[in-house]
Amino acid sequence: MGVTTMQGLYIEHRLKGSSTISEDLAKHLYTRALQGNVAIVTDSPVAMLSAVRKQWLKIERHLRRERSSTLNANKILELTHQIARMQTIRFTAKAPRDDPMGDVQFATVEDWMAWPPECRTLYVTCQITNEQLHLVTSWMREGGVVVVYEQ
C-alpha cells in the first residue's frame, strides 16, 4: 500500500487483503462519501454495486446496534446523523451520461473515458492503463483521492 501524487491528486494503491474488495471499498467509502461524489471504475458495474451496497448496509446495521447500546446522548445524536446521511447516499450503475446525479456511480473504464467523473474520490477495481487513468481523472479537482486496488 502506498500513496503517490498525480496532477494534484492523491493516488493510493491498496493490495487485496483478507477482506473482499467490496468490503474494503464500503469501509473506505464510508469515510469518503461525505467529501463529495464518488466514482468507481469496475468491469461489472451492477455486480460491484450489489456487493458494495450489501457491505454498506452491514455498516449501517453496525451503527444502529452501536446507537441502541449507548446511553450517551451526544453519541446517539452523532450516530443518528451518520445513519441518516448513509441512507441518503444514492448508488447507481447506470452509464454516467444517463444518470449523472448519483452520489456513488459504478461504471466501466470505457464509460468513464467517454464521460469523465467530476468527483472527489475515484476507486479503480479493475485493470486500467496509466493513459486511461489520466483520462478518467481529467475532471477531478486538485486534492482528490484515487484509490487503485491491486489484484
Would you state the cell numbers that stand for residue 110, as one nine-digit string? 470505457
CATH of residue 8: 3.40.50.300
Within a 10 A sphere around the Cβ of 85, how many other Cβ atoms?
Answer: 12
Position 68 in a domain:
no
Position 37 in a domain:
yes
Position 30 in a domain:
yes
Instruction: Note the pLDDT tens digit of each residue in 111-151.
Output: 999 998 989 999 999 999 999 999 999 889 888 999 999 86
In which domain, by residue range, is 107 found?
A: 2-53+90-150
Position 62 in a domain:
no
Average pLDDT for the chain: 90
- The domain total for the chain is 1
Position 76 in a domain:
no
Instruction: Note the pLDDT tens digit of each residue in 40-63.
Output: 999 999 999 999 999 999 999 999
Instruction: Note the pLDDT tens digit of each residue in 72-97.
Output: 999 999 999 999 999 999 999 998 88
How far out from the chain centre does Cα 32 lie? 7
Would you state the cell numbers that stand for residue 36, as one nine-digit string? 463529495
